Structure 1
């Protein structure tokens, strides 16, 4: 875990955001059941009193984790879907490349942990739904800007995310030596407009 202080016995300076980031790391590694105050405090080398200086209770921490994850995902998708007029196609291909990459294992682990949490918790499910709706809407707008009819833009947006998240969880490299070319072909298929 990245939460431990640099020197044994040294206390890491903690603030609310530090606790939240540490909890997100634990969430990625252990799931929501690992986000216990005692575990976090011990990992930081601090007392539980430090936690209660920044949070009312564990629910306050959970709210902070979910809000931080949501806000970060929305900021990221806003950044990734900004396109100069006429460059929407390139931006969509970039989006597929960025989100379909398996480089960011920590990000994938966090995404999976939040989604697993959402299967059992209504609050987490509502946050995941909000993020997914935002993602789909932002890409729908890119497709519409390319002249794709709205219904088709919605379908392509859903297909784009189903593909990037699905293939990012798979170990495709052994499937075909030219898996990079296959991924490029699939991305083109998702983005390219059909001629009437």
Structure 2
């Protein structure tokens, strides 16, 4: 990564530290999120870091909170629909996460989930995000006319399919992965039962 310019140095705020820390987490794991490395890449002194954060743990907490809030907000936005458009939105959600995954977002998600395996605070943030995603997807399926039980089951299938597929390397998969995805999408969205 390049060092930030002199102009950035004067306008550096807390969010710049959090953003870069999140990028380093995705690239190098938790061990790669070091104050010295952040300060060097931002082109500032470590004193600037301590102006915004008490210590590294406070930065890590801010990374988790920023990630959690962003994912919960995105989940709620993805679930917005009217009864007439719910099934169409379900298909768009499945496609957005599995056909056109945000590779940077996937790396961040994987890094935070890895961190959560060893840290209770990170695990709580992941649990909050998972709960929000499943609840929002369930509500979307309910809006689309499914029973509560069927909506929950389909929400879980949507979540595991979309995120699982987004983390896979397609070049090593069967040539018909696109066709298989379309079949799974029809199954999850209920199009095959019509």
- TM-score, scaled to structure 2: 0.92
Tell me the number of residue pairs that the alignment of Structure 1 and Structure 2 aligns.
194
Match in the other structure for 2:79? 81
Q: Contact 2:78–2:93 (CA<8 Å) still a contact in 1?
A: yes
Which residues in structure 2 correspond to 1:3-82 (within 5 Å)?
4-6=3-5, 11=9, 13-82=11-80
Which residues in structure 2 correspond to 1:45-194 (within 5 Å)?
45-192=43-190
Question: Deviation of residue 166 (structure 1)?
Answer: 1.0
Question: Deviation of residue 111 (structure 1)?
Answer: 0.4
Question: Deviation of residue 174 (structure 1)?
Answer: 4.7
RMSD, aligned α-carbons: 2.1
Structure 1 133/103 Cα, relative in aligned 2: closer, same or farther at 3 Å?
closer
Question: Deviation of residue 93 (structure 1)?
Answer: 0.5
Q: Contact 1:5–1:12 (CA<8 Å) still a contact in 2?
A: no
Question: Deviation of residue 173 (structure 1)?
Answer: 4.3
Which piece of structure 1 moves more, 114-123 or 169-178? 169-178
| Aligned counterparts of 2:81 and 2:148: Cα–Cα separation in 1 | 18
Which piece of structure 1 moves more, 144-153 or 53-62? 144-153
Which secondary structure state, in structure 1, belongs to the residue aligned with residue 114 of structure 2?
A: helix
In terms of fraction of residues, the more helix-rich structure is 2
Question: Deviation of residue 126 (structure 1)?
Answer: 0.1
- TM-score, scaled to structure 1: 0.91
Which secondary structure state, in structure 2, belongs to the residue aligned with residue 86 of structure 1?
A: coil
| Aligned counterparts of 2:142 and 2:191: Cα–Cα separation in 1 | 11
Structure 1 51/71 Cα, relative in aligned 2: closer, same or farther at 3 Å?
same
**Structure 2, unpaired ranges of 5+:** none
Question: Deviation of residue 66 (structure 1)?
Answer: 0.5
Which secondary structure state, in structure 2, belongs to the residue aligned with residue 154 of structure 1?
A: helix
Which stretches of structure 1, 4 residues or more, deviate above 3 A after TM superposition? 10-13, 173-178, 193-196
| Aligned counterparts of 1:133 and 1:179: Cα–Cα separation in 2 | 28
Q: Contact 1:12–1:44 (CA<8 Å) still a contact in 2?
A: no
Q: Contact 1:118–1:124 (CA<8 Å) still a contact in 2?
A: yes
Which secondary structure state, in structure 2, belongs to the residue aligned with residue 84 of structure 1?
A: coil
| Aligned counterparts of 2:191 and 2:100: Cα–Cα separation in 1 | 27
Question: Deviation of residue 45 (structure 1)?
Answer: 2.0
**Structure 1, unpaired ranges of 5+:** none
